[in-house]
């Protein structure tokens, strides 16, 4: 169990950024903020490039807004850790890799649980993903 907990810890690169939560609402909509555990997340500007991953199914958007630093170890584990609701019809069978350049503003925190899925993985929300970042 200890090993699993370590794998869900976010990467610590760059400045810690600004922290937002229920008593200090940030710039994200309430709907997006609710995808982070307790509605709490941080905003930071990357000081160096960061590799991130996105899981999609056939026909999914490779440039969607939700990403993770956790390299996927399988569809089922990713669905559980990232709380990918299967009502979204995302089987998480394709892994998209991107490299975010230094200077990119990201919003990050712990994935919120939903519909019986645990969540708890490091989640990154990026308002606009440049297709040129995909690797």
Q: Counting beta carbons within 10 angstroms of the beta carbon of residue 77, is it exposed (0 to 12), middle (13 to 18) or buried (19 or more)?
A: middle
Q: What is the mean predicted confidence (pLDDT) over 120-133?
A: 96
Return the closest-CA partner of residue 84 out of 125, 118, 126.
118
pLDDT band at 120 (very low <50, low <70, confident <90, very high): very high
Placement of tokens 């976010």 in the chain = 10
Mind listing the pLDDT tens digit for each residue in 50-100? 999 999 988 899 999 999 999 998 888 888 888 887 777 788 889 999 999
**Averaged pLDDT, 109-118:** 91
> What rounded mean pLDDT belongs to the chain?
87
> What domain count does the chain have?
1
Residue 97 gets which letter from DSSP? E
The pLDDT value recorded for residue 6 is: 34
Cβ atoms of residues 123 and 82 within 8 Å: yes
Kindly list the distances between the CA atom of residue 19 and the CA atoms of 14, 33, 61, in Å, as whole numbers in the listed order.
14, 12, 28
Q: What is d(CA 118, CA 2) in angstroms, rounded to the nearest whole number?
A: 16
CA torsion through residues 55, 124, 122, 115, sign: negative
pLDDT above 90 covers a percentage of the chain that reads 63
Q: What pLDDT does residue 16 have?
A: 62
Q: Which of 106, 37, 18, 119 is nearest to 66 (CA)?
A: 106
| Tokens found for residue 107 | 């919003």
Q: Which domain covers residue 77, as residue numbers?
A: 2-133
């Amino acid at each position: 169990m200890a090993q699993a907990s370590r794998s869900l810890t976010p990467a610590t690169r760059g400045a810690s950024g600004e922290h937002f939560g229920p008593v200090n609402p940030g710039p994200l909509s309430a709907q997006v903020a609710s995808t982070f555990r307790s509605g709490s997340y941080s905003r930071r500007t990357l000081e160096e490039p960061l590799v991130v991953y996105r899981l999609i199914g056939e026909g999914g958007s490779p440039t969607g807004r939700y990403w993770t630093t956790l390299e996927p170890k399988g569809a089922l584990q990713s669905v559980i850790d990232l709380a990918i609701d299967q009502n979204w019809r995302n089987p998480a069978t394709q892994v998209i890799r991107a490299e975010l350049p230094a200077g990119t503003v990201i919003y990050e925190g712990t994935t919120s649980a939903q519909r019986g899925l645990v969540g708890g993985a490091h989640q990154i929300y990026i308002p606009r993903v440049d297709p040129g970042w995909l690797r």
